[in-house]
Structure 1
Amino acid sequence: MTFLDRWDDPSRPTFGEALRDVAVRALAPGVLLFAVIAGIGFLIVGPLRGLEGENEVNRWFEDQRTPLGETITLFQSSMGNTEYVIGVGVIVALVVYWRTRKWWYAVVPLVSISVQALIFVAAAYVVGRPRPNVERLDPTPPTSSYPSGHVGASTALYIAFALMATRIENVVARRVLVTLCVLVPFSVGFARLYRGAHHVTDIVFGMLNGVVCALLAWGYLRRDPHRSDPGY
């Protein structure tokens, strides 16, 4: 069984088994991920404070702003908004459940964004990095700049979608959807830099948070394609 076809297992877990596996296979590894992200954050706000290269990038983006660019990046940035991510995640989960009747599979995107959110909130709180010293085009949420919550949330959601899209039988549709889903986090990351909300490292580690959480969510449930007992 490969990582991508692990959901071919036809067995049906109980809610308790799924909940246990979320705790053991997603939340527990998430603690280690939090430690890594927070630890690097402490380096950034401590010994590596004032990375001049990052400041130059933020000022460069500020100098490139145009009315059209501001309009486009407003839309791109909104794809990482909390209400958007939760709304799209719930809708897709409901559609997947309607088509498959496998709730344990349909919740993969929701597991992904939930674990990401816990790590993001905790890391942002303990690190407390200030926002870039440029004009911000959006009112920023009351969290610190590191890591990027918008990028982390959109990455966790759309990488989970990309993994789900690998199961689409039509080759053209599969490739198009996987490509589009992978591109969304980069689009959000670009917009957050353009609009002055984050430093480059905030984007990078927000994306790392999202990717790892999507992978944890994809593998959260123990699967065995050789089992045929539907009562598993």
Structure 2
Amino acid sequence: MKVLVSGIVDFSTIDYPKKCSAVIFLYDCNMKCPYCHNLKHILEHKKEMTVEELFNNIDFFFADAIVISGGEPTLQKDAIIEIARYAKEKGFPVKIDTNGTNPEVIEELVKNKLIDYVAVDVKCKFDKYREFTKCEEDGEEIKKKILKIINLCKNNNVFVECRTTYVPKIMNEEDIEEIAKTVKDCDLYAIQQFEPKDAYDEEFRKIMPPKEEELIKLGKIAKKYINNVIIRTVNGVFEI
């Protein structure tokens, strides 16, 4: 089983809440989000290796969990399943970062008990999706898929987080309210601070990041619909 890998981080304290994790970044993505800080690297770096070679390239001295990220890792269905199976055999909890466009992959992972945590990126109001992400699918179709993932996780005792990176000028309070209403059954909703420095789109590098007070205000809007809401900023995580 060959895997297309764009990068490995041996030690992260931010990618799997309350755990130290090793993060595997799989190659390719079906969205071109303008604020993404990973996309350029993901598309320009590709190394083919077996799952065993992949794990042999990770220093597990500190890591006690595995995060499979991207890009969009579910584009490599067989690879993601084999990575998760290998990780579980080694005793690691597994988290997947996804944009939600391939719920059938998440379903297979959930049904085979290969996953403990799913983080779904909800990009913006759903009627903006195609324009904002350059995805082939429209927002209503993606909404259905995200809701399917949430229901799958809730019915199978898998922790599901939804998260939105808030970009000023491009997004507003209506985006957050609509998203929160839609994903209200998730276990955690996180509003993340946009960081312009490494944005994929050069124009987005000129946008100032939102202030913490603005994010907290947005968090309070989301809190009307979801019990567990946090704000993630460069200075840390804040509960609402």
TM-score by length of 1: 0.30
Rg bigger for which structure? 1
Instruction: Report 1 or 2 for greater relative contact order, CA contacts < 8 Å, sequence distance ≥ 6.
Output: 1
TM-score by length of 2: 0.29
More strand by share: 2
More helix by share: 1
